[in-house]
Amino acid sequence: GVRKTIMRRGSSVATSAPRPLRSGSRTRAASADHGVGGGGVVFTSEQIAAATRGQVLRRGGPGSITTDSRTARQGTWFLGLKGERYDGRMFASEAIARGCAGVVLEARDEEEAHKLRQSAEATGGDAGLVLVQGNSGGLDSLHGLARSVRDAFPGSVIGVTGSCGKTTTRSLASHLLRGLVSGGVHETEGNENNLVGVPRTLLGIRADTSHCVLELGMDRPGEIDTLQDLCSPDVRVVTNVGLAHLQGCGGTIEGVARAKAELVTTARPGDVCVLNADDPRVAAMRPPTGAETLLFGRGAGCDVRILASAPAGEDGLRSRVELDLGGGLGRVDAQVCQPGHRNVAENAAAACAVLVALGVDFDPAVLSTGLSTFTSSLQDGRGRAREFWFEGKAVAVIDETYNSNPTSTMAALATLSDPAVGGGHAVLGDMLELGEASADQHAAVLRRCLQDRGIRSVHLVGSLFREALEAEGRAAGTKARWHDDPRAAAAAALAGCKDGDV
């Protein structure tokens, strides 16, 4: 065990692990005093009605909640969600046919309630039915159920947001916690970081869970506020503010910063805000009185400081990271199996800062081993590096295509052009949701590629990059080509690859 002295902005706090965070500070709802099963939290009919403010029209057996009729089975309640392109309530009969314990349906008026009830009962059987009056398409019901889970959850919740790096930070923090705490660690899976995914993740908490690590995404103001209200994080992490979702945030990076800051400005007494001191927009965020701040970054004043980072491995697609954990906690030196050492260092520092904020007991050597054994669970398109065998050549691919934005694209290009990686080829598709900044940002990314000698060829797809290339004119030379099909761009890039290229 290590005795910890945590130095935070404006305060010096001595803690001995584990440090309880606001124990008992949340109001516990009577309706949430339910058991937890292997598939997530289990509700009775009455508990569902209390959490959703609905009415039990027919009682059903206890069960966990699913919003997908295809996964409905005995021991589950189906909650139908109505979206822009689908109406899940219409699949209630299918869920009942699969043997679910009951269905939860939201109706805006008596006429719609009658139709939904008839549809649900057409299958027959004795499945339960909870009817909710509302006009949210079931989203309010989902949120009510999730909020009741959070109210009853005695463990710690960590919320992570940011324009880039939130998935890696969340995965790293979860990985480290699993090796250091005795209870279970529950975390966001895939892209479940929105107004539907976050409550579904909360509903999946299991009986042995001691820590829940949630990724919080947004594409417009107010979403982070809603999500933090649902999950009420004890530790609130902001990785950075970048050029993402500009269109929904007033077209400016300042609008993005204000939206991300909702996680900080809503903090409660006892919460800890883990902030990136190297990002001026994040460093400027201020929590309310009573909440604490813990900084990570490269500056001398950081609580968790990045001392060094560099490419590692024969192909340069690993990252060596050295951190000072502050407060006499020691140093960490690790090789993380992920490319982009600058970003990886920030993500690793943020994850370690989460441990410090929670008061988790650890040995720096064990922490170094934990970082070095991290295997990215990133889904395709989120910065994963993989090697392919193609016509007798080994070619590594860094995939940054998932909802890519100028900030993440520039970071990927920096990794590609690093001398340790050896340079390579860029295949770029249009970046969306940039609003009025779209033309300028596509031009900036293309110009970066053209000016970088480490990038040997550039292959473009999409109308936005086509316009950017046309605007460059002769300056683009033969280095950049536009293709009308992604497969054609991939084929052209691979044709120009040598063995070992990226």
Average pLDDT over residues 314-323: 85
Answer yes or no: are the C-beta atoms of 253 and 242 closer than 8 Å: yes
Q: In the chain, pLDDT over 70 holds for what percent of residues?
A: 90
Residue-wise pLDDT for 91-130, tens only, equals: 888 999 999 999 999 999 988 888 888 877 776 678 999 9
What is the residue-averaged pLDDT of the chain? 86
Average pLDDT over residues 281-305: 96
Q: What pLDDT, on the 0 to 100 scale, is given for residue 377?
A: 58
Question: Which of the four pLDDT bands, split at 50, 70 and 90, describes residue 14?
Answer: very low
- 3-state class (DSSP) for residue 357: helix
Please tell me which of 111-120, 302-311, 432-441 the model is most confident about, judged by mean pLDDT: 302-311
Question: Which of the four pLDDT bands, split at 50, 70 and 90, describes residue 16?
Answer: very low
Answer yes or no: are the C-beta atoms of 428 and 461 closer than 8 Å: yes
Q: What pLDDT, on the 0 to 100 scale, is given for residue 380?
A: 56
Token reading at 411 = 């970071």
Is 331 or 453 the better-scoring residue by pLDDT? 331
Lookup result for tokens 């829940």: 212
Residue 446: burial class (beta carbons within 10 Å; 0-12, 13-18, 19+): buried
pTM score: 0.78
Q: What pLDDT, on the 0 to 100 scale, is given for residue 24?
A: 35
- 3-state class (DSSP) for residue 502: coil
Residue-wise pLDDT for 265-290, tens only, equals: 999 999 999 999 999 999 999 999 99
The least confident of 36-45, 361-370, 441-450 is: 36-45
Per-residue pLDDT at 487 exceeds 80: yes
Q: What pLDDT, on the 0 to 100 scale, is given for residue 17?
A: 34
Residue 64's identity, in one-letter code, is: S
Q: What pLDDT, on the 0 to 100 scale, is given for residue 35?
A: 46
Residue-wise pLDDT for 396-434, tens only, equals: 888 888 778 888 888 888 888 888 777 789 999 999 888
Token reading at 482 = 């536009």
Residue 259's identity, in one-letter code, is: A
Q: What pLDDT, on the 0 to 100 scale, is given for residue 19?
A: 35
